[in-house]
């Protein structure tokens, strides 16, 4: 049976994200590239999903769509029941600001700015007052094990610490969904394990829904569900049996 049609249902959870027959085409005519070919995907509150597949399979396009950075060519993307394709660019920006957190392979920290100030940035965009902003940023740094490192700049931190700052920045706004693109791609095996254990704890203890792109099977094993893409389609969608029971 085709993996994308063999969708799992979990009545104990509410759908948070729904992709329905979503396609994405770049370009026109003979130069057109069909990145997504009609995918169906339902993400439930509290899921920790590893998205895998070879380069060019559509997983990055799907993540851009989930992050409200792009919209479908056809089909529907529903976030908490709201159709994202019908929103304006500013409205999609509000969805990102209030519900989503992002973690990137390259950390994307401001190099001359302290860890605390980096974490404060999304709070600043929300218009949160200075003292409350600092309090929330310190709490986020504490949650990722970086108490005492608030005033260090990225150049004074290890790669693992920089990724922890990036995760703190992503969770400072208490997002419903954390989108992580190859979060261990620039780290050694020890630091990778630390970051994955941190993500797993945020999922288990805070209930943050996590969508993570990875090429590494050992990193995907920290997730409770694995979705594999191939040629713009979902080839398989499986959940950890122990977690599902």
Whole-number average pLDDT of the chain: 91
Alpha-helical runs (H) found in 111-178: 115-125, 130-143, 159-171
Going by C-beta distance under 8 Å and a sequence separation of 6 or more, which residues neighbour residue 239?
8, 224, 225
Residues 71, 24: Cα–Cα separation, whole Å: 8
Q: Tell me the pLDDT tens digit for each residue of 24-67.
A: 999 988 888 999 999 999 999 999 999 999 999 999 999 999 99
Domain boundaries along the sequence of the chain:
3-244
Span 211-237, average pLDDT: 96
Write down the architecture of domain 3-244 according to CATH. Answer: 3-Layer(aba) Sandwich (3.40)
Distances (CA, A) of 238 to 12, 49, 158, 223: 17, 10, 34, 11
Q: Tell me the pLDDT tens digit for each residue of 74-96.
A: 999 999 999 998 999 999 999 99
Span 105-124, average pLDDT: 94
Residues 8, 155: Cα–Cα separation, whole Å: 44
pLDDT of 6 higher than 90: no
Task: Output the pTM of the full model.
Answer: 0.87
pLDDT, residue 14, reads 77
């Amino acid at each position: 049976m085709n993996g994308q049609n063999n969708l799992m249902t979990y009545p104990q959870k509410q759908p948070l994200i729904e992709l329905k027959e979503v396609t994405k085409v770049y370009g026109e005519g003979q130069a057109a590239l069909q990145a997504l070919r009609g995918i169906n995907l339902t993400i439930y509150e509290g899921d920790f999903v590893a998205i895998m597949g070879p380069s060019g399979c559509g997983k990055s396009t799907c993540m851009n769509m989930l992050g409200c950075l792009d919209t479908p060519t056809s089909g529907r993307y529903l976030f908490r029941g709201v159709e994202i394709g019908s929103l304006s660019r500013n409205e999609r920006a509000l969805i990102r600001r209030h519900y989503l957190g992002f973690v990137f392979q390259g950390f994307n920290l401001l190099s001359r700015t302290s860890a605390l100030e980096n974490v404060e940035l999304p709070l600043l965009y929300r218009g949160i007052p200075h003292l409350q902003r600092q309090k929330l940023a310190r709490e986020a740094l504490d949650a990722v094990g970086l108490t005492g490192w608030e005033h260090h700049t990225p150049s004074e931190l290890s790669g693992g610490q920089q990724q922890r700052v990036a995760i703190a920045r992503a969770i400072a706004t208490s997002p419903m969904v954390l989108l992580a693109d190859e979060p261990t791609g620039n780290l050694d095996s020890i630091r990778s394990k630390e970051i994955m254990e941190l993500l797993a704890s945020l999922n288990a203890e805070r209930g943050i829904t996590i969508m993570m792109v990875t090429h590494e099977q050992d990193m995907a094993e920290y997730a409770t569900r694995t979705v594999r893409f191939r040629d713009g389609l979902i080839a398989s969608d499986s959940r950890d049996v122990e977690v599902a029971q």
